[in-house]
Every structure is written in C-alpha cells, then in structure tokens.
Structure 1
C-alpha cells in the first residue's frame, strides 16, 4: 500500500471498461479526499501486470461485459483474480455495477442474467444494515439503473440495498469494501452518452430518450448529491482506518 504516513498522496486506481462509463461525479470526490486518480482501461491493459495491493483504493466501474464471460473477455478473469488478492488483504475496493458483479464473483458467488433488464431512474430500498452505512444516503433517491445481470449475495457480506426485481443492489464487507449495482457516477454528460449509445433499448421499458432527459433534470441533482455523499463517507472511513498507522509513524 502507498505510504501515506510518509507524506505521499494516496492513490486510487480506476478500472474502466468503456470510455462512456467513467468516474463521473465520483472523480472530484476522490480528488477532494486527496487521492491521485489513475485510470486503466481494462480491455486494453495487461491487468495481470497490476500490483493488486499497490493502490490505496481500487475502483471498478461498469461495462457491457459480464463477470461470467472470462472466456470471451480474458481481462475479466484477470480482474476477478486481482480482486481476490485485494480481498485476501482487506485492501479497500469500491465496485459499481459490473464492478459489484466482479466483486461478487471474486467472493465466490454466482453471477448470472437477471429475469429482465433494470433500466431507468429507479429507487432502491435501503436495508437496516444499509441505514448504518454510506448507502443510507440512497434512501428516497432515484438513480440510473441500466443492467441485466445479477448475483447471489456472497457469504460474509451485508446486504445494504435491494429493489423489487434485483434483491442485491448494494453490499459491503467491513469498512473497506463497498459495492453498488446502481450507478452513482452519472452526470448529465454521461447520461447523454448513454442515451446516444443505448437509447434504442428504452421503448422495451416504456421509456423514451425525452422521458429519460426529463427524469435526469428532476432526479439528477439529488442523485449526484447522494452519490457524492456515499463515496465521500466511504472514503472518510478509509481515512479513519489509516489514522492509527499515521499516528504510529
């Protein structure tokens, strides 16, 4: 891990799978918390060459790939192995959508296609455990959902949120692992990119590009604020976790 006690900035390594699915509003929060953000495009990188324990936090973003498609996308299997190494060391990690599914796979849970894609600006139901976690900021908020895969809840984690069609919307282990199925990173620019790329899917879910834009206008600001609060509280917890090391130094 980076020696923050020696005065170095903590590092955040971001695994990205599509340029349209970036950090969005999570990036500024990482920077405000003092992180140096390094983004790696997993499909074009040698994931096996990454030192799994070097970053202070690993952020794994979404993508069209599935966690069970390592035979089609070899880097997916390499990411799962990287995550296993971080999990064994209890090294901080934050997963979003595909990132959450990859974490579930790394923890030994089954990842598979859901009954129907979950698409739109939708709310999640925060559990009692979620109410005592950073995901508490998601209560009453509608986030972008755009996924068709799901996973069994891994052993040894807490379910933090669910939805009527997808029981596992968020989970954590300790204060160092947080995974969300919904999309906290979405900004107006990302939203427009997704509408351009995948807007043809919307009629199947009784949505249109115009309706999604209306929802972004009404729901987007609250979703961005809640998202910043979720990742910010998670990062605050990581800083507190490092505090004894700093004091000992």
Structure 2
C-alpha cells in the first residue's frame, strides 16, 4: 500500500492509525497541507489520510488552504482513491463534499462514548475528543455515529469511491494528546487539563488496540488491501 498522509508540517504524527498501516506494509508519504500539490502530481496512491489540525476549516484566513485540500480530495475520489478523514480532516472532507462546519459553543474533550449505528466502522469507544468545531455532513453521506455535540462518523461514496470520516481521534497517542492539551487545542476555559492528560495515559493501551482494529475495519470497507 502507498498511503499519502495530509497534515500540518508541525503536527504530522499519525499515531496508532499510521502505526497500524505501517504494520500492514504501508508506505507512508507525508504531504504538507500548506504546500499541497495537485492530486495528479503525487503518483500512485492506494489511500489518502487527512489528519487533524489546530486550525478551523471554516475560518476565512484558511480559505485557500481548505479549497486546495478540498479539490485534492474530490480528485482522489473521482480517481478511485479512497479517503479517511480524522477531526479537522473529517470537517474538511465534509466541506469538500457539500457539508459545512462551524465553531462549537463549547469544546468536546476527554475520552467520550458515542452513539453508533455501526459498531464496526464506528465503535462506541470511548474515543479521544479534543476539538472546538463541529460539522454537518454532506447531503449524500450516511451518518454512522453522533454525540451530543454533533456528527462523529460518516461515510460517503457520491463521487464513485468510498470515504470515511471520524470526528474523534482514534490515532492519538497519550504523548501527543498531552502536547495538544498543553498547547490549548481545545480552546479556552472550563477545562481540567491535568484530568485530560490523566485520561490520555489511562486509556493508552486500550486506545491503541481499538485504533488498530478500527483501521483494519476501515481498510476492509474502503477496499484497500495490504
């Protein structure tokens, strides 16, 4: 498998998900979303993975970056390359396919269980959450999971190729989560940072196993084989 990972250059750790992809023989090619080439220029690809970001897809200052990545995603799907989106990547994919996103009235943080109609592609968790934005899925999507804050997982094949998006963070390691908390990824106010970090390390082993299993399920659903 040749897998292109789109991420911020300063935060490109794919954690448990990329670890599992590499275990399955995946060749990981990192792409900087701020300097993103066209899809046609990257060569063969079996999978596109959109990682999270501390930016927001709806902020006007990121308009050009969001549009470039949206064009990339649509081109990949039209060319039969499946896409996985995580957190910001899920919001980006939603917007690329006709949905939208906006600032939440309160951050969603910590290890939270979600309501699901598909325990294989969207297990109830608990999963790591750390975001201040929410999104509405594309009108063509099928929502598989929700929380009281909004959509947590959707699938879509409107451009002829399957895509899956998770608002939660199956990939995040405890060390990365701790860094995000210290850097204020969740926004401002009302958060017990020490408790969030404690949750990260308490859930580390279980989260890794769950993320590997979810990655396997996603690859099967997307038709990507090692």
TM-score > 0.5, shorter chain as reference: yes
Distance of aligned partners of 1:213 and 1:148 in 2 relative to their CA distance in 1, 3 Å threshold: closer
Larger radius of gyration: 1
RMSD (CA atoms)? 2.5
Q: In the alignment, does 2:170 pair up with 1:193?
A: no
The worse-fitting range, judged by mean Cα deviation, of 106-115 and 91-100 is 106-115
Q: In the alignment, does 2:25 pair up with 1:38?
A: no
Poorly superposed stretches of 4+, deviation over 6 Å: none
- Give the Cα separation in 1 of the matches to 2:168 and 2:71: 23
- Give the Cα separation in 1 of the matches to 2:113 and 2:57: 24
> Is 2:107–2:132's contact at 8 Å kept on the other side of the alignment?
yes
- Give the Cα separation in 2 of the matches to 1:49 and 1:42: 12
| Offset at residue 231 of structure 1 (A) | 1.0
1:23-49 Cα deviation digits (max 9, x unpaired):
011112111222100111212x24337
TM-score by length of 2: 0.87
Task: State the match for 1:134 in structure 2.
Answer: 121
Task: State the match for 2:129 in structure 1.
Answer: 145
Distance of aligned partners of 1:21 and 1:184 in 2 relative to their CA distance in 1, 3 Å threshold: farther
TM-score by length of 1: 0.79
- Structure 1: gaps of 5 or more residues: 1-9, 244-249
Task: State the match for 2:193 in structure 1.
Answer: 208
> Is 2:39–2:75's contact at 8 Å kept on the other side of the alignment?
no
1:65-76 to structure 2, matched below 5 A, reads 65-69=55-59, 71-72=61-62, 74-76=64-66
1:81-120 to structure 2, matched below 5 A, reads 81-120=71-110
Q: In the alignment, does 2:218 pair up with 1:234?
A: yes
Q: Secondary structure at the match of 2:30?
A: strand
> Is 2:132–2:186's contact at 8 Å kept on the other side of the alignment?
no
Distance of aligned partners of 1:178 and 1:71 in 2 relative to their CA distance in 1, 3 Å threshold: same
Larger fraction in helix = 1
- Give the Cα separation in 2 of the matches to 1:201 and 1:110: 20
| Residues matched between the structures, number | 223
> Is 1:66–1:98's contact at 8 Å kept on the other side of the alignment?
yes
1:19-38 to structure 2, matched below 5 A, reads 19-20=10-11, 22-38=13-29
> Is 2:108–2:186's contact at 8 Å kept on the other side of the alignment?
no
Q: Secondary structure at the match of 1:103?
A: helix
Task: State the match for 2:166 in structure 1.
Answer: 180
- Give the Cα separation in 2 of the matches to 1:87 and 1:126: 25
